[in-house]
Each structure stands twice: as structure tokens, then as C-alpha cells.
Chain A
């Protein structure tokens, strides 16, 4: 069977590309690390791939703001990414990748290209690097989250992860369209403040998916939970046989194969 080709975008400062590639390899994908310069120079074409991933890291040192320079580069030099998303192929943005997708106007709604959301510094003014509890939106059409349990855990690692929206209307639209894919919650599955919400995101938003369900951006790192041994409590927990992050990337590979 032909393996789905996964483009994992690299640029100065990305640092989660190898873990991401490894996760896709584990579920039968054929990952390839491609530097943005190779795409800009035409040595590689986005459309030759089945899945597109912007991994986590600190693109361009987070200079100016997290993901800002990469977002501008994508907006100006990779217009075909918009077409790629429209074609229904899976697109994943993790942490810094999520920030870049939102700032490039490709999420939550990539049709207009207008930036309607952004990120601010964590309310705690600290770099939050720890595990978080998340609740999935079971009504979401997101292909990455198919058949996953409603309550999951994933690690976050960011200093600028507070999701903010342009206006209250944007938040209402996100709720109505089931674009909110993941939210930070407490042990009971309820929305709660710090430390459950590590950054002060509005409505505890941790991940957003487009209305077509093929483009997901999230602050937590799925590639850091691909075996049960990654979980800090793996000797005691019995709720999952393998990492939730692996299930997420497997869903993308399955989607392409189907």
C-alpha cells in the first residue's frame, strides 16, 4: 500500500520536527522534513504531499511575536497552502505552527484570509511546560479527533499561548460552528481557571479546527505523547494503551488512505 506523504515544515527555530516525523512514521506515513526555502525556491511543491504539518518550536526565535514572521512568510510566499487546505487534505499546526496558521489567517476561517484571532503572553507571564487535561468537542468534524475519548491529556510548552479573538462575535461564531476542537478542563471535565487553563485563553480554547474538519491547530503537543510511557503517570494509569497523540496522527493517515 502506498504510504501517505507528509510534509513537515522546517524553518529557522522549529524544534519539534523530528518527533513529529517519528509519530507519522509509526503510523505508516512517509514523513519528509522540508525547509521553507525549498518550497519558496520551487524545489518541493506542497501539492505533491498528502498531509501538511507545521511543527512546534520558536520560528525565527519568536522575534516580534510568536509565529509572526513565519505567518507573514506563509501568507506572502506559500499561497498554495490555502489551496491545499481547501482541497480537504489534512493540515496540522502544533503550538508555534498553530500560532502561525492563526496569524496567517488560515485558521479559524481561511476563506477570507483575514486574521480574526491571535495569541498573547500567558496570563501567568511564565513559560508553561507541563501536562494539561483537555476535553474534545465531540460534535467537532475534525478528522484528527475521530474516535478519540472525550477526555484526554497532552503536554503544553509555551509562553505565548493565550488565545484571543477579535470580537465577541468571532467567539460566538466559533462556538456555533463547532470550530473549538479542544478546551482546557479540570479533573471533572469542567472549564476552570489557572492552573488548568495554563495561559488564560478565552473560553479555555486549546485547539481550533476549520469548519471542513481538515485543518487543526492546537497548543498542546500530540507528538510528545506517542507511547504510553510518555505519560508521567504511566505505571498507574490504565485508560490508554498507546499515546493519544499517536491516535491523532493515525487518524490523518487513515483519512488519506481512505
Chain B
């Protein structure tokens, strides 16, 4: 079945899509990632031996009527620390590109219906900046694993170490799909 849409409707969809911004906040590579180091040290307890490094970053999804300029301002002035962190908005780096590709990437999001406390604080802080308040802000923790890691291990680590499966959902990407 072919779904036909009028050009105006297509435009509306594009505008809607472009108004969801993914802001990724990364620890600068020259700084110790204390959370990542602690996590890596704990992995052998779950029988995971081949991981050489772990980085832990934050990911924010801002949904609402924000322009790219506004999303970048939010990343720059609120979400990323200019001294210790770098940011990417919808994948476009400020100057933040991880030097090597991880073997696995796990995003831990709060499930729909679970209050995102950090997201609510971010919404209020955005309003405080004099910018349009986003309809919704969701926040996730991103874990990047370097070395050897297979799907079964990733699932076990996610469920046992990275969150509470009752309130979190995990998005796992392995190999080339793990930017």
C-alpha cells in the first residue's frame, strides 16, 4: 500500500524531525573519566575480560520548537562544561570526535512514563536562559566500550551494572553501528 501525502504535510514532518535535537556531551579525552574507569574495573566480576577502556557520557534529546542555533547555545552554555567536556549536536561536532571507534555503545534511557528528573531541570534551565521551553527533554547515559565485547555480554552488563531494567531501557549497538 502506498501512502500519499501532500507536499505541505511532508514539509510539516521534516520540520518536526528537525526539531528534535540530540546533544551528546563527552568528557574531554585528556581527562580521566572516573566513572568509566570504575566501570571497567568492575567488568571482570561479570566475566567480561576483553574490554580495554570505557567512557561514560551524557546524551540529551530536546524535543520542541528550537532552532539549530538555540540547540547549540543550550549545549554550549548549559549542558557541556567548557573546561572538562565537549559536545555534539545531532552528530555535528564542536570539535568532539572520539579518537577511536568503540566496539560497543549502550544508551541507558528512562522508560516512557518514568519521570526524567534531569530532563525537567534542563527544561527549567532553558526557560531561564530566555529560550523557548522544549516540549520534552529526555536524558540518557551513554557507555562506550573499547576492546572485545559480544552481544550477550553487553546485555548482561547493561542489565546488571548500567541501570535498573524496571525503569531503564537499553539501546545496544555493536561493531560498526557503535559510533
**Interface residues, chain A, with chain B CB atoms under 8 Å away:** 60-61, 63-65, 68-69, 72-73, 76-77, 103, 115-125, 162, 164-166, 200
Contact = CB atoms under 8 A, between A and B. Distances in A.
Contacts of B121: 60-61, 63-64, 69
B129 to A, nearest CB: 7
A164 to B, nearest CB: 6
Contact of B84 (A69, A72, A76, A118): A118
Contacts of B83: 115-118, 164-166
Given A64-B122, A69-B125, A120 B82 contact: no
Q: Which of B27, B78, B125 has the most CB of A within 10 A?
A: B125
Contacts of A65: 81
B77 A123 contact: no
A10 to B, nearest CB: 17
A191 B38 CA distance: 25
Contacts of B4: none
Contact of A121 (B35, B117, B124, B129): B35
Interface string B119-139: 001101100111000000000
A145 to B, nearest CB: 26
B167 interface: no
8 contacts: A60-B121, A60-B125, A63-B122, A68-B81, A76-B128, A76-B130, A103-B81, A120-B34
B56 to A, nearest CB: 9
Interface in B37-72: 37-38
A97 to B, nearest CB: 17
**Interface residues of A, dominant DSSP:** mixed
Contact of B117 (A63, A69, A119): A63
A69 B130 CA distance: 14
Contacts of A61: 117-118, 121
A123 B33 CA distance: 8
Contact of B34 (A76, A122, A165): A122
Contacts of B32: 120, 123, 200
A200 to B, nearest CB: 7
A118 B80 CA distance: 11
A136 B41 CA distance: 36
A121 B57 CA distance: 12
B82 A72 contact: no
Contacts of B129: 72, 76
Contacts of B38: 125
Interface in B58-115: 77-79, 81-84
Nearest to B79: A64
B125 to A, nearest CB: 5
Contact of A64 (B82, B84, B125, B130): B125
B1 interface: no
Given A61-B117, A116-B83, 15 more contacts: A61-B121, A63-B117, A64-B79, A65-B81, A69-B124, A72-B125, A72-B129, A73-B125, A73-B128, A77-B128, A118-B83, A120-B32, A121-B35, A165-B83, A200-B32
A116 B81 CA distance: 11
Nearest to A102: B83
B82 A115 contact: yes
Nearest to B83: A118
B31 interface: yes
B136 to A, nearest CB: 15
A16 B55 CA distance: 33
